[in-house]
Structure 1
Amino acid sequence: MEREPYFFLSYARRDDRGSAFVGRFYDDLVEELDRLGADCSGQQPFLDVERIGLGMDWESTLGSEIGHCRALVALCSPSYVNSLYCGKEWAAFESRLLNYREQTDIEVPALIPVLWVPLHHAMPSEISRYQYFEPAMGQEYLEQGLMGLLRSAPGGRAYRAVLELVAKRVRHVADLFRLPRAQDLDLRTVRSPFEGREPAGPGGRTTGHVRVFIAAGVTDPLPTGRQRREYYGPSPLDWTPYHPPVHPTVAYRAQRVIIDEGCTSSLEVVDGGLGEKLDEAMHHNQTSVLLVDAWAARESQYRAPLSDYDRQNHPVTGVLVPCHDTDEESGDEELWTDVQQVFRRNWMRRNDPYDPLFQVQVERHRFEDRLAQMVVVAQNRLMEKAVPRRLPAGLSAPPMPGLSVPFTPPSRTDDPTDPPGRTPLQKDQDDEH
């Protein structure tokens, strides 16, 4: 049977960095649906961190899930309306609703906006045309948003009231309607309807491209001294550094953070040409991030290029070394002493709050925040050091129209009979008549 997720939870990663409130709401919503008698077991709802597995193409997976899900629950916030992929998810699902309405003349309320964080200004029309508030949800919901209610009183009456209403609407549309599927949906071709409509916060949005370089182990062979195979895959891009191993990969998580910061990204594996690639990126006004597996950094494959990076000056490149305190193997002091030897020069500025481009032993709940800060700081530094670009070769622009000699105002006569405001030219023309 083809997958039809009972609902798709669409949210901005910026709103869930280190807080786990999105995961808590997802679990509560599934539990409430079960209490209402909905059977989600056959068509598991979609939350990206749970349903995108090792080695999967995340863009293709998101497109497939959006193209087949029965309902979409959108956690609306300033970050949501500034997230490129949240907008794409919204637009792709909305197009399925419009197709169904054209075919049946039935309006299906399957796009369910939830006020997650109050917006600074009025709700964009693209969202407000869908009902996102009912009186039973209460004034606290409008003032604080659902994340505020969940933060202050996770089992409170106000939060439960909103949760129950959202669950009832999801069950209603998921059980009664079958929207036309969007086969082979490619989110790269979908345009966001409200991207950039709401200020995302202090400093606004950045633009640019971030090159992400991965230095990580693989399953065969494992890095020297490593025993746990579940953190790795056949490629360094499959690395999942946190315990218990959580999919999607760290590369996927990094790309989503970068997208939420308004930048594009590309993935590469660290090799002997790292230094030249970092210089090339800066020359093309691009920033870079190195995601480094502490275990793999000691291997000859990576040790030399990473040490070369450490000896050179790369002001718009950040380094992030993930770690989780429950990974007993990574608690070895000898491991981190070896990493220190690889990054001798930069080690002195590790985890400096005023210079956040070198972060080590970054735990899972801090990963998104630290990486986002790194991207913003690197982009800001790039603006100061950007390479100016020349205009393309070609004919020179024509000169601007203007006077060839300085303008000399006409002299006025001293005739006291001239009316106020009449110029000598006007007087001469009157004399001719």
Structure 2
Amino acid sequence: MPEETYWEDESAPVFFLSYAHTRNRVPAPPRDTNQKEFQLFVDLSDHVVELLGLGPGRTAGFMDRMLDGGQMWTDDLAFAAGHCQVFIPLVSPQYLNSDWCAREWHAFTRRPVLIRPGATLSTHDTPVVPINWSVVERRRLPEVVKRPQMFTPTRLPPDIAPQYHEEGIYGLLSLGKNGKDAYDAVVWRLAQRVARAYQTHWVRPQVPSDMRQLPKTFEEVGHDVV
């Protein structure tokens, strides 16, 4: 296949962090209710820049900080969902109940996926990397979310992966210094997973023209791998 087939827009992010926006839950002055998601985004972005050697002006990731529950679909969000190469959903009960998270999911997963020439893949390699954000019982996961295996960190001290699966990243961040070492290790392994997905797959750009036409539930949609 010609090399130009794998052309990428240099302004496109490597990964898209998809999460359920949380509104203020108590009558109090406005505050940032998604600080933990933003911390993950910043830490992961730093690692991805380091691993991929991204040059000046290249963006490691995209995280929407403007929407409050998804009242609008911005041009920046549509561009990122249609051009990013790795999709990272922060799976939680709220995520699975969000119409807008489902639309972000489908904006990415409807795009055709090609394997880069010479890439060697393991069984579960995919450009969709679901993260255990706050624990959801597997039986509650929609089939389309179960298919890409939930991210599991490997090659770590034996207590870290179980802690991640039991607490989720939200839980690790909520445990303060007791969860920090596990959090740091998990995010580093996640960055390595993102870098590998980027180096082995190419997801053809396809920007949604109208997000309202995308499914607002996690139902089956065709997904091509070439």
**C-alpha contact 2:92 2:132 (8 A) present in aligned 1:** yes
Is 2:93 the counterpart of 1:78? yes
**C-alpha contact 1:3 1:68 (8 A) present in aligned 2:** no
Q: Which structure's relative contact order is higher, taking Cα pairs within 8 Å and 6+ residues apart? A: 2
Match of 1:5 in 2: 13
Pick the structure with greater CA Rg.
Answer: 1
Shift of 1:64: 1.8
Large movers: runs of 4+ above 4 Å: none
Match of 2:149 in 1: 131
1:160 alignment partner, one of 176, 184, 204:
184
2:136 alignment partner, one of 113, 119, 122:
119
**C-alpha contact 1:116 1:146 (8 A) present in aligned 2:** yes
CA distance in 2, matches of 1:15, 1:162: 27
| Structure 1 gap ranges (5+) | 196-433
Residue by residue over 1:71-102, the C-alpha shift from the partner in whole angstroms, topping out at 9 and shown as x without a partner, is 11111100000010100111121111xx2259
CA 1:115 to 1:184, structure 2 compared with 1: closer, same or farther past 3 Å? closer
**C-alpha contact 2:10 2:58 (8 A) present in aligned 1:** no
CA distance in 2, matches of 1:26, 1:190: 25
CA RMSD of aligned residues (A): 3.1
AA of the residue aligned to 1:5: P
| Counterparts of residues 14-413 of structure 1 (less than 5 Å) | 14=22, 18-39=33-54, 41-44=56-59, 45-49=61-65, 58-96=73-111, 99-100=112-113, 109-120=126-137, 122=139, 123-134=141-152, 136=154, 138-153=161-176, 156-194=180-218
| Structure 2 gap ranges (5+) | 1-8, 25-31, 155-159, 220-226
CA 1:116 to 1:81, structure 2 compared with 1: closer, same or farther past 3 Å? same
Shift of 1:59: 3.6
CA 1:2 to 1:58, structure 2 compared with 1: closer, same or farther past 3 Å? farther
Residue by residue over 1:171-203, the C-alpha shift from the partner in whole angstroms, topping out at 9 and shown as x without a partner, is 1122443311104542111003428xxxxxxxx
Shift of 1:40: 6.4
2:89 aligned counterpart, secondary structure:
strand
Residue by residue over 1:53-79, the C-alpha shift from the partner in whole angstroms, topping out at 9 and shown as x without a partner, is xxxx74433222101111111111000
CA 1:142 to 1:15, structure 2 compared with 1: closer, same or farther past 3 Å? farther
CA 1:108 to 1:192, structure 2 compared with 1: closer, same or farther past 3 Å? farther
Residue by residue over 1:12-47, the C-alpha shift from the partner in whole angstroms, topping out at 9 and shown as x without a partner, is 002896251011111111122234344164331211
**C-alpha contact 1:74 1:112 (8 A) present in aligned 2:** yes
**C-alpha contact 2:73 2:211 (8 A) present in aligned 1:** no
**C-alpha contact 1:8 1:72 (8 A) present in aligned 2:** yes
CA distance in 2, matches of 1:192, 1:2: 30
CA 1:49 to 1:40, structure 2 compared with 1: closer, same or farther past 3 Å? farther
Residue by residue over 1:377-406, the C-alpha shift from the partner in whole angstroms, topping out at 9 and shown as x without a partner, is xxxxxxxxxxxxxxxxxxxxxxxxxxxxxx
Match of 1:385 in 2: none
Match of 2:157 in 1: none
AA of the residue aligned to 1:146: I
CA distance in 1, matches of 2:55, 2:93: 30
AA of the residue aligned to 1:20: Q
* TM score, norm. by length of structure 2: 0.71
CA distance in 2, matches of 1:129, 1:194: 12
Sequence identity, in percent? 30
**C-alpha contact 1:126 1:193 (8 A) present in aligned 2:** no
